[in-house]
């Protein structure tokens, strides 16, 4: 069974641009969560989607948004990029909202210059 895939794996953007990251969950998984990982702040929860609906949102500005499609694939978008947005963005999928086990993808490394 294929794991969680994230594309692209690496991305370099300029301050002020916007970026879209993609996550394909494990087949059959309907819940997708996004996390930001930085050396300073560690792992922080961004948002969670289930059945195309955002169920939870972390403490991030409105520049960070996401969505989930009917096939459970998810995208997150960051507009007006700032240097501080440089991070590893991790996506995790799980069977549904009542399951405890989340499976993480390899992440997208975003560098903002």
Partner 1 sequence: GDSVTQMEGPVTLSEEAFLTINCTYTATGYPSLFWYVQYPGEGLQLLLKATKADDKGSNKGFEATYRKETTSFHLEKGSVQVSDSAVYFCALRMPNSGGSNYKLTFGKGTLLTVNP
Q: Which of 42, 62, 70, 83 binds partner 1 (CB under 8 A)?
A: 42
Pattern 77-96, binding to partner 1, x per CB under 8 A?
A: -------------x-x-x-x
Provide the phi-psi class of 98: left if phi over 0, else alpha when psi is between -120 and 50, else beta: alpha
**106 is a site residue for partner 1 (CB under 8 A):** yes
Choices 13-21, 45-53, 61-69, 76-84 (CB under 8 A): range interacting with partner 1: 45-53
Find the distance separating the first CA and the last CA of the chain, reported in whole Å: 37
> DSSP characters for 46-86?
EEEEETTEEEEE-S--TTEEEEE-TTS-EEEEE-S--GGG-
Q: Which of 11, 20, 22, 45 binds partner 1 (CB under 8 A)?
A: 45
Structure tokens at 19: 């970026």
Neighbours of 51 (CB within 10 A): 12
Choices 11-19, 52-60, 61-69, 77-85 (CB under 8 A): range interacting with partner 1: 52-60
Residues that bind partner 1 (CB under 8 A): 4, 31, 33, 35, 42-43, 45, 48, 50, 55-56, 58, 90, 92, 94, 96-107
């Amino acid at each position: 069974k294929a794991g969680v895939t994230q594309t692209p794996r690496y991305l370099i953007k300029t301050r002020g641009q916007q970026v879209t990251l993609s996550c394909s969950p494990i087949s059959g998984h309907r819940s997708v969560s996004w996390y930001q990982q930085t050396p300073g702040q560690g792992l922080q929860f961004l948002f969670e989607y289930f059945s195309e609906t955002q169920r939870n949102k972390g403490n991030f500005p409105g520049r960070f948004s996401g969505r989930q499609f009917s096939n459970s694939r998810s995208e997150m978008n960051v507009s007006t990029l700032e240097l501080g947005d440089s991070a590893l963005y991790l996506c995790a999928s799980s069977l549904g909202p009542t399951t405890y086990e989340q499976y993480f993808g390899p992440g997208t490394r975003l560098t903002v210059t």
